[in-house]
Amino acid sequence: MHSQSGHSDTGNSSNTNELASNGSTAPLIDDHEDIHSQCLNRYSSSQHLRNHVRIATLQAEVNLLESERETLNDQIVNLKADVENLEEEIASLESTIQANKIRHQKSIDKYESIIDEKNQAYQRLSEKSDNTTTSNTRSVSTVRSLIQSVSGWLKHTLVGK
């Protein structure tokens, strides 16, 4: 077995024991190298073919991966657009919420103002009522006093005459 070339000697002595064309018994090195070269070429051709098959297989895998990458890139673009749309929607909703808070606070302020006005009106009514009662009491007392004075004067004037 010839270990370096990867081929075996078949027992055919044509490459080592035949006479050279000049009649010598020296091995035919040129033939051996030629056979070795042919073996390497066959091995290389076979390996070359396997390499082409492997390249074709890898190219198919690369094409599939590139297709998947394009699909993922498209998904990323779509997701970025979705995120942008959602951010705009969030900003709009936050603006609406803020406007509603302001409107709500204005309603609360108006409600509290009306309650304050009502309480002040009750207070004024209560004060008027108290003042009116006090004033009426004073007026009644004054009128009684006047009536007594006038009665006394009339008695004095009429009786005294």
Q: Residue 2's beta-bridge partner residues?
A: 7
One-letter amino acid of 134: T
- Residue 64, in any domain of the structure: yes
Q: Residue 7's beta-bridge partner residues?
A: 2
Domain carrying residue 92: 13-134
**pLDDT classification of 147: cutoffs 50, 70, 90:** confident
Question: Where do we find the tokens 């070359």?
Answer: 48
- Would residue 7 be called left, alpha or beta, if left means φ above 0 and alpha means ψ between -120 and 50 degrees? beta
**pLDDT classification of 43: cutoffs 50, 70, 90:** low
Structurally, how many domains does the chain consist of?
A: 1
Contact 5, 36 (CB under 8 A): yes
Q: What DSSP state is assigned to residue 18?
A: S
Q: What does the pLDDT read at residue 20?
A: 46
Average pLDDT value for the chain: 78
- Residue 151, in any domain of the structure: no
